[in-house]
Structure 1
C-alpha cells in the first residue's frame, strides 16, 4: 500500500530543503571566499619571505667576509659567495671539520690568525644562532693587511737599525779602544807577569763587552725566532740560575718556581738572553743591598711568566712611557736596547712583555703562551718512539 503525504506537507518540506540548500550554498561560498583570502595572504607572506631571503642572501654575498652557518650537528646549512671563494665547493651539507681538514694548515700552538693551504691568512669570529642550535662563522681575509704590517715592521726595524748604528758607534769605540790599548801593552818586553795577566784580563773584558753590544744589536734586528723547541719553564729557571750563580753570589736573591710541568715553545737561547736582561736591570736598580725575586709561574690569565721582582727605587714616571722603546735609557753607559730586546723576543714567541713599578715594588716579566698538556704528552711519546 503506497504512502503519500498531503500536498501541503510535501510543499512545506520542499521549501525547507530549498532553504537548507541555499544556506549550504551560502556557507560554501563564504568558506570558499575565506579560503581564497587566506590563500592570497599566505602567497603574499611567502612572496615577502622569498623577497626577504633574496635580500638577505644579497647582503651576505655583498659582505667582504666569508659567512658560514652551522647547524647543531656541525654541518654547513648556508653560506655566502665569499665562503665559496675562500674554501671552494662543496660546502652546503658538509661537516665543518671536513672543511677544516681540507682547507686549513694545522698550527701548533693555535694562533689568532688561521692559515689556508694556499697561503691566505684569515681571522675568525663566531656568534651563536640564539635559540636555535648552531653558530655563525665569519672569516675575514687579512692576507694583504698582514703583509703590509710585516712590511711596515721590516721598515721600522731598518729605521731602528739605522738609529742603532748611530747610537752604538761611540759605545763600540770605547771597549774597542780599551782592548787595543791593553793588547798593545802585552808585547812590551819589560812587562811583569802580573801586569801582563791583568792587561790580558782587561783586554778580554773589553772584547766581551763589545761582543755583548753586537749580540744585543743582532737580537733586536732579528725580530723573530729561529727554533721552536718545547721548553720546561722550571728548567729555564734552573739554566738561568746556573748562568748567574757567580754574578749573584752574596746578593739577596730568591729563586722561585711556581711553574712545575708547565711548558712553552721557542728559542732557548733567546728566552734566556731576554730574561738575563731583565735580571741585570733589576740587579743594577736594586743595588748591593736590594732584594730580588727571580721567578717563573703560571700567569693569572693563562700562559707562563718569566720575570724578576726587586725592591729598588722603581722607574721614574717620566721614563715609564718609553721603557720598551729602543735607545731609551737612564744609565750613562747603557744602550737602551735591553728592554727593547725583551719585548721583541716576547712578541716573537707570541707573547708580551709587561711591567709594574712603584718605589720599593717593581716587576718586569715576559708572558708567553702555554703549551697544552696533551701536546706535551704527545711530543714526549713521539720522542720516546724515535
Structure 2
C-alpha cells in the first residue's frame, strides 16, 4: 500500500492490489400469506418449488402466524430436500409476524428484537456470516398497514416512525437492511420518504437501489411489481394481477456504498416477474423469467412475489466485488459518507489494458454551476483500486453546504456523480 499527500486540500491517495476472499449471499423477502392458516397442505409443495428454485441464503418472511408455522415451514419447505436451513427465534406478536431462515453452514443467528407499533410488530434480526464474524448484519422485517387512502398512508408513516426511532442510534456506515411488505403505492408516500429521510445526525436512514418516481402502478415499472400474481380469488389473499410494488429491500448507506457488507448493483429482482404480466396472473403462458412449473408455484403459494438481492460479505472497501483487484473497466463509485461533513472518500478503478499499464486519470470537483472547485488527481495511475479523501474544510477551501459534482476522466471515459455537503 502506498500513501502520500496529493495537495493542500487534504487529499490522500491510496492504492491496494491485494487478492481478497468474499462470499455472495442471496437475501430474499417473502410474504407467505397467513402461513400456515390457509391451505397449508396444498401450498407446501408450491412453496418447496419456489424455495428450491430461488435458493435463498437468507429468507425473511412476513405473515407468519405462529411458532408452529415456523416449525412447519422449516421442516416441510426449507429442509424438505435436506438439512440445509435453520431458523431464528420467533416472537409471536399481536398480529401476523416476521420470521427468518438461513443456511446453517454459512450464518449464525444472534437475536430477534421486537419493535412495537400500533399495528404489527417490526422485528430486528441480527445475523453474522461465520467466515466474517466481525460484521453484524441487522435485518428489519416489516409488514406495514395495507390499503390506499390518506388514513392508511398516515398509519404506515407512524409505523416507520417507530422504526426510525430505533435506527436513529445506528451510524450510516453500519450494515442494516429493511425488507418486507411495505404496502406503499409510490414515492410520494410519507412512509417511503421517512424511510429515506436524512436527519441532521445522519443516522438510521435507508437507500432504495431502485428509483421509481411517482405512482408505482404504471406499465413502465412493471418489472418491479410484486402483487398480485393472481387475477382470480382462491384461498384468500389479493387478486388483480401484477401492478403494485409492495415488497422491497432497502439498504443502509454502509451496504449501498459498498462497505464490508455490500449490495451488488443490478441484482434487485422480483422473482418470477418477466415484465410481461402487467395486470395479469404470473403464470399466464409464457413466462420468460422462470419455468412454467415455478410460475405456477408462485401463483398458487402466495399473493406476493418474493424479492431478492445479492449482497457480498467480506467485501474490501474499494474493491467492490472484484476478486483480483484489477477491474475490467473504469468505474467511479459513490462517495462515502454521503451526505458528508466535512470529509468524504471517493473510490475509483483503473482497468488493466493491453496498450499500457499506466493511464492518465483526472478526478475533479465542481459546483452545481459547473465551476471547477479543485483537482484531486491528475496523473498516470497503475491499474487497480484507488481511493481519495477530500476535506471541504479549512481556509479558502471551507466550502458551503450544497450539492457538488465529481468527475473521473481518462481518455474517452468520463463519469460524473453528485455528493452533498451538509454543515
TM-score (norm 2): 0.18
Q: Going by fraction, where is helix more abundant, 1 or 2?
A: 1
TM-score (norm 1): 0.20
Q: Going by fraction, where is strand more abundant, 1 or 2?
A: 2
